[in-house]
Amino acid sequence: MTANRAKKAAFFAVVAFFIGCATVPYTGRHHLVLISTREEKTLGLEAYQKTLQSSKLSQDREAVEMVRRIGLRMARVAQAPEFEWEFNLIDDPKMVNAFCLPGGKVAVYSGILPVSKDETGLAVVMGHEIAHALARHGAERMSQGMLANFGGAALSIMLANKPAATRDLYNQAYGAGVGLGVILPFSRSHEAEADHIGLILMAKAGYDPGEAVNFWKRMEESSKDPNAPLAKFFSTHPSHGDRIKDIQSWIPEALSHYKP
């Protein structure tokens, strides 16, 4: 990199810091977000619609009602009036997962129901996923990717607020990554932060946050892997043991919000 380009990149980094600095709710962490909430919601809605179009929605009325009941209780305490909430259960017994996209678009895969076991267990999962959206982790990760991969040119595009270019950068930033030194550590911190915020959300919604420990113990049992040490190093998620230890330390705080 020439001295000129280095100075330009540094200038854009400073500008980006002051323009894009935001605060995560509940934890108070400061982070860099270069994407507007409007653009983020648009991207989230597009991704959600594509997922639903290519998936089979569950016809299990009782399970669907449980997902939506939990979701509405979470939405009432999330303090996100700009979100347009939607909750769906996808029929896929092999997929042990759930997600919440920007704007409050939530999907739960049926494969996680045997692990969650009951409504409170599923509230652990949904609280965690909704916390990712409230904390704007996707936009933060995208911003990190742009800074790492595209430098000043990407920042100038983002600051110019061009939606088409934003979509391209969104796809590239998530797909490229910059290795273990930058992207993965932030992803692990995002997971821990989502656990922390998720505990508070479920407690405020009337679910016992102490059940989170039992849920993650069940997850640990269901995902036994002989290569666990290597998986822990490369995984974007904390190990189950680390996660449970952190959750136990946050439960007293969450209980202060608990309203059965």
Alpha helix (H) residue ranges in 96-255? 113-116, 119-134, 137-149, 151-159, 163-176, 183-204, 211-222, 228-234, 240-255
Residues 6 or more apart whose CB falls under 8 angstroms from that of 109 comprise 89, 90, 92, 95, 96, 97, 98
Residue 96 main-chain phi, psi, to 5 deg: -95, 85
- Catalytic, 193? Answer no
Nearest to 207 by CA among 103, 85, 116, 88: 116
Alpha carbon 151 to chain centroid distance? 24
Q: Which long-range contacts (CB under 8 A, 24 or more apart) does 50-56 make?
A: 51/90, 51/107, 52/88, 52/90, 52/107, 55/90, 55/91, 55/92, 55/107, 56/90, 56/91, 56/92
The single residue of 39, 40, 129, 193 carrying the catalytic annotation is: 129
Catalytic residues: 129
